[in-house]
Structure 1
């Protein structure tokens, strides 16, 4: 098999994992062509470590013994101990090799894996927002409001896709309209600032709802994102409905900023469970209006397509494609590849 790791070959079977702040998902690829063996989602709060989760909910439930692992995690990757941004797990690749028998462990950013997925996402797993056009083979962006706000770019050059991981979810998000200026003083800040992730994620949705209630001088009725979403999408609660409307507006603004940053003529893709649950709201005019409202480049923005990724395991699908066809992708593994 051609390799992305110099002259070495990553040996099958390969364990691939998408490790988020709340859920961890695992597949095992028996070889380069067979269908993956899939496992139920793991709640990160149920295990003290990723090692325990892999042993208990993966390796103990299969006769396949993976020789390699590719893990996508929520957080920057530096050193031999890699903490996740939104949960207490720490990934220790050397320990995984010593205790679980892997020959190779690769660790990449979770939205790098989402970028791999949108490189070849079939039309059946893309729900268009606004004009329905086939995305160009050109730079793309993927954003995902979930436990946090993930962002990654995808550059196409020399017939190769290059994922660009980053922490774009932590860019500043500020008020623009009169209503914004009423609400933003009540948004909970992080070290004195409001980043995209303070609003555009599950806890951010609650943060925004509470700020709206505070601006209106009323007590909030809901404390969970699911309740706000349910009552907001039906329109039965005015403040929950405004929360959803502003959420998609602010998401449109940030998505447009990222589209300009990467000149993503190949499209902007919204990943994650929240995006899938609020498709009806995203299809209303607010998202595209905010996305395109980027003077002096409104004409450019009108021609950039936007989609919701509806694949239930998009990151794992991206990792699987990379594991099977590594030569199609330009992924630098220096400092992210451990071996026995």
Structure 2
């Protein structure tokens, strides 16, 4: 097993691979400005190796020797499938065929968690009251293609990211309106997980359930249309879908804050959170976040943010790549070397 603070040989390619998009950045040394590559759509490439071979490596200013990749899915073994994308990451094949000598794979929300330990005030927008306590745990939630959740714990003078699949926890009805809508929410194997509502397709799922509950015909099938009309307030069902989306996101964010005792803050990442920022700044999100009797005072003291850095996960991976000794990132079963 590689020591967790052992450095990676430069140049280092860092990558954030989601269900829809893949983003890459090249670090030629520990101090150099990164080379940022154009965003790749995963659907346009059959494999990640094809994407690297055709969309990244030909443009690289120098051939990368190491790769640190954040992927949306659990990491078990030498073949690592993504949860919401048909790609499979095969580090041994990348070393054999693409010229890498060192490859590490982490969970995508480990990367998001690493990012919030380094982001400045200019990279986030605060929602509601509360101030972060130095050295205390943080939580990141990211509604996107799915719902990602990651924790960040400070111990032994290092930030330790905690990966997981928190987006798949159960989400249930609470209000009278919830009980009207939830019977029409599409289930997954007999249950409604948070990700069935709190992601792009989940917003569509929620909107359709609202329409069915009200005896209306759904007219939108794209989450961007629902969020756009919801923000504009020119479609009642879309507006309610967006309002309930931020309410349910507040509930889940509050749950995660209590699980991790995240007095360092709760951070909402990803493109959806940025796009619906005006809705998140309304009272519903914080009201749901704090409505955790008997712990309203505790939740009221915990700050919440929207991460606005356009490449937050890559920023987190870059910080780790430059100085791995600052972070307690486990490499066991996740690092392969030539």
3-state SS in 1 of match to 2:174? coil
Question: Aligned-pair RMSD on alpha carbons?
Answer: 1.1
Partner of 1:292: 290
Over 3 Å counting, the alpha-carbon distance change for 1:63 and 1:301 in structure 2 is closer
Query: What is residue 169 of structure 1 aligned with on the other side?
Result: 167
Structure 2 residue aligned with 1:227: 225
Structure 2 match to 1:73: 71
Partners of 1:135 and 1:305 within 8 A in 2? no
Secondary structure of 1:189's counterpart equals coil
The equivalent residue for 2:314 is: 316
Q: Distance in 1 between matches of 2:204 and 2:212?
A: 12
Matched, 1:272 2:275: no
Of 87, 90, 93 in structure 2, the residue corresponding to residue 89 of structure 1 is 87
Displacement, 1:242?
A: 0.2
Following superposition, the deviation at residue 136 of structure 1 comes to: 3.1
1:258 maps to 2:247: no
1:23–1:41 Cα contact (<8 Å) kept: yes
Native 8 Å contact 1:77 1:336 kept in 2: yes
The residue that corresponds to 1:157 in the other structure is 155
Q: After the TM superposition, which residues 137-148 of structure 1 pair with which residues of structure 2 at under 5 Å, given as runs?
A: 137-148=135-146
User: Is the 8 Å Cα contact of residues 136 and 267 (structure 1) preserved in structure 2?
Assistant: no
Is the 8 Å Cα contact of residues 23 and 43 (structure 1) preserved in structure 2?
A: yes
Query: What's the TM-score once normalised by structure 2's chain length?
Result: 0.98
1:337 to 2:331 alignment: no
1:134: Cα distance to partner? 4.8
* Secondary structure of 1:223 counterpart: coil
Distance 1:195 1:171 in 2: 5
Q: In 2, Cα distance between the equivalents of 1:264 and 1:6?
A: 24
Distance 1:232 1:156 in 2: 38
Question: Residues 6 and 325 of structure 2 are in contact (CA less than 8 Å); yes or no, is this contact kept in structure 1?
Answer: no
Question: Residues 205 and 247 of structure 1 are in contact (CA less than 8 Å); yes or no, is this contact kept in structure 2?
Answer: yes
Of the candidates 103, 106, 126, which is equivalent to residue 105 of structure 1?
A: 103
Give, in angstroms, the shift of residue 133 of structure 1.
3.3
Please report how far the alpha carbon of residue 145 of structure 1 lies from its aligned counterpart in structure 2 after TM superposition: 0.1
Decide whether the 8 Å contact of 2:30 with 2:322 is kept in 1. Answer: yes
- Return the alpha-carbon distance in structure 2 between the equivalents of residues 134 and 332 of structure 1: 26
Between the two proteins, the alignment pairs up a number of residues equal to 337
Shift of 1:137: 2.5
Aligned to 1:248: 246
Unaligned 5+ segments in structure 2 are none
C-alpha separation in 2, matches of 1:334 and 1:155:
19
Q: Partner of 1:199 in structure 2?
A: 197
Q: Write the distance in 2 (CA, Å) between the matches of 1:6 and 1:135.
A: 27
Structure-2 residue corresponding to 1:35: 33
1:23 to 21, 24, 28: 21
Q: Which runs of 4+ in 1 moved over 6 A?
A: none
Partner SS for 1:323: helix
Question: Deviations along 1:121-152, whole A, 9 cap, x unmatched?
Answer: 10101100002635533100000000000000
Cα distance per residue 1:89-142 (max 9 Å; x no partner): 000000000001111000000000000000121010110000263553310000
Kept in 2, the 8 Å contact 1:154–1:163? The answer is yes
Q: CA deviation at 1:153?
A: 0.5
Partner of 1:123: 121
**Partners in 2 of 1:21 and 1:94 — Cα distance?**
22
In the superposition, relative to structure 1, how do residues 242 and 62 fare at CA in structure 2: closer, same or farther (>3 Å)? Answer: same
